[in-house]
Amino acid sequence: MVDFSEHRAAIEELYTGVCTITNRETTIVDGISETGNAEICKNQPCRLSYKSFPQSVDGDEEYKSYQQVKLFISPEVNIPTGSRIEVTQAGRTQHFVASGIPAVYDTHQEISLEVDEVS
């Protein structure tokens, strides 16, 4: 088996942010369903990555920009699609929703994010 500990340590040195991740959870108490936020992790080291794509719409001479946001985080954290993610990086706090299935690697995982319009 390959030891990825040095690769993982190098990636984790790039984590300049921390995040808190919550997910909606339904529990049954005395026969009554209750839905609330369950905290998956708090102050978890992470990194946001941004990539912009210029786009033009058919018949539209105006160019619009699309931005892709990815979260890089430890592969051990289980983050279901739809989880709410609060990230503080570079002195700013932003709110996102995990929008896709995580790409999990031996050294990290990458999760596509969307801006959380509710927060």
> What is the pLDDT at residue 56?
60
pLDDT in tens, 64-115: 767 899 999 999 999 999 999 999 999 999 999 998 899 999 999 999 999 9
Q: What pTM value is reported for the model?
A: 0.82
Backbone angles phi, psi at 10, to 5 degrees: -65, -40
- The three-class DSSP label of residue 6 is helix
Judged against a pLDDT cut of 70, whether residue 2 lies above it is answered with: yes
- Token match 């570079």: residue? 90
pLDDT in tens, 9-18: 999 999 999 9
Structural domains present in the chain: 5-115 (2.40.10)
114 contact partners, CB below 8 Å, separation of at least 6: 69, 96, 97, 99
Judged against a pLDDT cut of 90, whether residue 29 lies above it is answered with: no
pLDDT in tens, 38-67: 999 999 999 999 998 776 666 566 667 678
> What is the pLDDT at residue 89?
97
